[in-house]
A and B are shown apart, each in its own frame.
Chain A
């Protein structure tokens, strides 16, 4: 299978000459099409910086990031925005839905800003709503629906443009455990049935256990990599906990 994402030896520094912090210190990995990859690490490990760099919100100081055969570190200005709009889908911890728009409009907005044909938009929104089981709440405003529903609306917005890759940043961070489980099942569904490539950043082992492969990051470097393979999710979860213990990350993270 072809690689959707190739991260090649990237580095990202903060600060100045006298006080240099390496947020990312030579990370390389690949994500192939249709994969569901998790990135784990403690606070300050550099995982969010990594996601920001991949999502073109931030720039790297060295190395290459190739998404769909295009080196995004070379893109600039409007091309970058266009790339982000068309090739990537985002899901955020705090949903980032517009409170003035209905669920339907929030989903449609991702298409309208791509100047999609209005006739197609309505059809596509209804289709994706059907798949994510949110058809019933399309005409509601964000404040009228639950957190889980909000995150599913956000997911619908992220995948409606048929992105090459969906980037999720702590997607279950603001959800209760039941909603979190539902959302993760939705992700599984997106990944397995619809073939979406998902890259998810989380510090929660349970959330991570839904992924097929997990990359652990510590101090800006890749510390370990776990592949689910033939394991059940429970076995995979236990392995993740083991690695986390090794990592010696936040005690809080090891429940």
Chain B
């Protein structure tokens, strides 16, 4: 009997269940997709180092899933609570008919289980199909071969999803039972007749608060973009975040009053059709939902900036990678090792062996040759010495500008010696890399730098006083700004400053900091290059690798292949976590927004009935309802988009990634599609749900 009742209830209140069901299905599908990653086909096709990267990604996603499950848990309890509240009267009737609380709990229990099983089944079904698409995405990101397509179903992910969601449903059941046990019959029966007082705000205060909030937001925006260089500690960073939150709440507190006031002053718009009614409805709704609107706006903001930020970092990294890795390999080692040094972590004195010290007196090619490396593997070899002169530190370079710089950037190590390279040496590297070459007179020097923040500091210093006295001679800067260039290949602009000096500049041999070698692999194919890479990096047991290990010689290296894989892996991990979190946040905010709208449907129903009675036709009513819900959904999204414009700029600037609008565009489009799809589905579900509710009992 109870079962029949439950089943019929579900059928009857299917419209109410739509949002709840949608949320559950989406939650299950997303959960399955991201947890089935390790068994997806793309995994079988990638290289071993990439597979390690994916293993790390899967571990991270697994940990995230716990967090996600908690968010989803809260969301489901909230959504379910909405449903139970909406059916208070129904439960009241059951109780007057003599049904006990236990039986009512039983009905809800059955309904929860039924809808739980149904949503799990549908969700996993969708998840399995969607994960095939994700597999293609993974393959693309990791450049795996996906020419042969096989359908993959992950049993582990399926079981994991079922267990996690079973726990969530259990929480819902416990919560429901608690709620029901607290109900009083009188409240259940009269639940519908509860009319809220309309909250009215003083319009002048609204306008004032709106303007103040806008100013606060504007200043916060400035802080994270124009004034970003002053944000160098965590405390400083809290300021714009706090201001952003306060500004957002303020905006929602005052927005509807402000808009109302503005539109009221224009009678042509205000006194047209149902505009007046729609505005008042919104005013009422936003005023009663300030906190949730603010939270939703901030969640959307996170979603948008995390999604498009991560996607654009990825595309920026990809396009810069080509520029940063012009050749196959860099090898370098510390020159003139001291007899002993103090390990800064352990505090212990470490002694270098004689072999190590002897080896460090010679260039990299010496190490390669003496340890039996086949030099035919390499071509286009360029070898240079990189110096560090104790007398020429960052402090020396900055000169008069030092004090100002120290105020802004207290954490820079100003007493570190600068990296110095002779001009002809640098030109050899520049020629190999395809970068610009320079020339210097005997009393000139110049600075190369591509790290944004350092460029600013150094440019200021070069403009103010560029003369440097060293070894009793005065050198002045050829240019009063930094020039672009780098020596060691990295994955981004990380050259904080290299000083180029004329060849006549006197440097003691002992001041050599590093010996550096740049070369290409002597191979024409990717496989050939990979093979040569293996002989160097040490994954293979070659004679050279064994010799070096034995002698304890520390030869560092960067290769195009390893840099690319690291960069790709990093970007991909960021993207996956961003998409996972972003979508869940998006679902949460859309669902809450939708439920908020539907909660007030009984009040709305009364109002729309009145409209109908005084002669509004269905078209007018539908338009009014549509615009009301549309604006209600758009308000947090619009503010979130404005927030995100500055948020993304901030993310890009702290990561020092240069992204041109062209590179940003695709990621913004992808973000817009994801948000448009999920947000749109919830919007439509809300619209049709509300439409049905106001149509009832005609």
Residue in A97, A98, A112, A122 with the greatest tally of chain B CB atoms within 10 Å: A98
Interface size class for chain A? 20 to 34
- In the assembled complex, B277 has its CB within 8 A of some CB on chain A: yes
Q: Contact at B198–A143, with CB atoms within 8 Å?
A: yes
| B617, A81: Cβ atoms closer than 8 Å | yes
Q: How far is the CB of A107 from chain B (nearest CB, A)?
A: 11
Min CB distance, B325 to chain A, in Å? 63
- The prevalent SS among residues of A at the interface is helix
The B165-200 residues at the A interface (CB cut-off 8 A) are: 195, 197-198, 200
* Chain A residues whose CB sits within 8 angstroms of the CB of B274 once the complex forms: 109, 112-113
- Quick check: B620 and A100 within 8 Å, CB to CB? no
Q: For the complex, would chain B's binding face be called helix, strand, loop or mixed by DSSP majority?
A: helix
Task: Tell me the bound Cα distance from A241 to B616 in angstroms.
Answer: 39
A97 touches B197 (CB 8 A): no
A98 CA to B280 CA in the complex, in Å?
A: 10
Contacts of B270 in A (CB 8 A): 118
Near A by CB (< 8 A), chain B positions 360-418 give none
- Cβ of A121 within 8 Å of any chain B Cβ, yes or no, is yes
Residue B284 lies at the interface, judged by CB distance under 8 Å to chain A: yes
Interface centre among A84, A88, A111 (most CB of B within 10 A): A84
User: Are B198 and A99 in contact (CB-based, < 8 A)?
Assistant: yes
Q: Does B507 contact A (CB under 8 A)?
A: no
Residues in B whose Cβ lies below 8 Å from that of A17: none
Known contacts: A141-B198, A141-B200. The answer to whether A98 contacts B617 by CB under 8 A is no
Task: Say whether, besides A81-B616, A109-B614, A100 and B280 are in contact (CB < 8 Å).
Answer: yes
| Bound form: Cα–Cα A84–B267 in Å | 25
Asked if A157 and B614 make an inter-chain contact with CB atoms under 8 angstroms apart, the answer reads yes
By a CB distance below 8 angstroms, the chain A residues around B267 are: 118-119, 121-122
Asked whether B607 lies within 8 Å of A98 as measured between CB atoms, the reply is yes
Task: Kindly state whether residue A108 has any CB partner on chain B within 8 Å.
Answer: yes
B614 touches A101 (CB 8 A): no
Chain B neighbourhood of A57, CB < 8 A: 613
Q: Is the CB of B277 within 8 A of A101?
A: yes
Residues facing B in A92-147 (CB within 8 A) are: 92, 96-101, 105, 108-116, 118-119, 121-122, 141, 143
- Contact between B614 and A110 (Cβ–Cβ < 8 Å)? yes
Residues of B in contact (CB 8 Å), total 29
Give min CB distance, B182 to chain A, whole Å.
29
Interface presence of B272 (CB below 8 A):
yes
Question: Are the CB atoms of B277 and A109 closer together than 8 Å?
Answer: yes
A192 within 8 A of partner (CB): no
Say which residue of B283, B607, B616 sits within 8 Å of A113 (CB atoms): B616
Interchain nearest-CB distance for A181 vs B (Å): 26
Residues of A within 8 A of B280 (CB): 98, 100-101, 105
Which B residues lie within 8 Å of A121 (CB)? 267, 271
Complex alpha-carbon distance, A81 and B273, angstroms? 14
- B residues near A81, Cβ cutoff 8 Å: 615-618
CB of B12 within 8 Å of the partner chain: no
Interface residues of A in 140-177 (CB under 8 A from B): 141, 143, 157
Contact in complex: B281, A100 (CB < 8 Å): yes
Which residues of A are found within 8 Å of B616, using beta-carbon distances? 81, 85, 113
A78 contacts B by Cβ under 8 Å: yes
A112 in complex: contacting residue of B198, B273, B281, B607, CB < 8 Å: B273
B residues with a Cβ closer than 8 A to A are 195, 197-198, 200, 267-268, 270-277, 280-281, 283-284, 607, 610-611, 613-620
Known A81-B617, A85-B615; 12 more pairs at CB < 8 Å? A81-B618, A82-B617, A84-B615, A97-B610, A98-B280, A109-B274, A109-B276, A110-B614, A113-B620, A118-B267, A122-B267, A141-B200
A sample of 11 cross-chain residue pairs with beta-carbon separation below 8 angstroms, ordered by A number, consists of: A57-B613, A82-B617, A100-B607, A101-B277, A109-B274, A112-B273, A113-B273, A113-B615, A116-B271, A141-B198, A143-B198
Which A residues form the contact surface with B (CB < 8 A)? 57, 77-78, 81-82, 84-86, 88, 90, 92, 96-101, 105, 108-116, 118-119, 121-122, 141, 143, 157
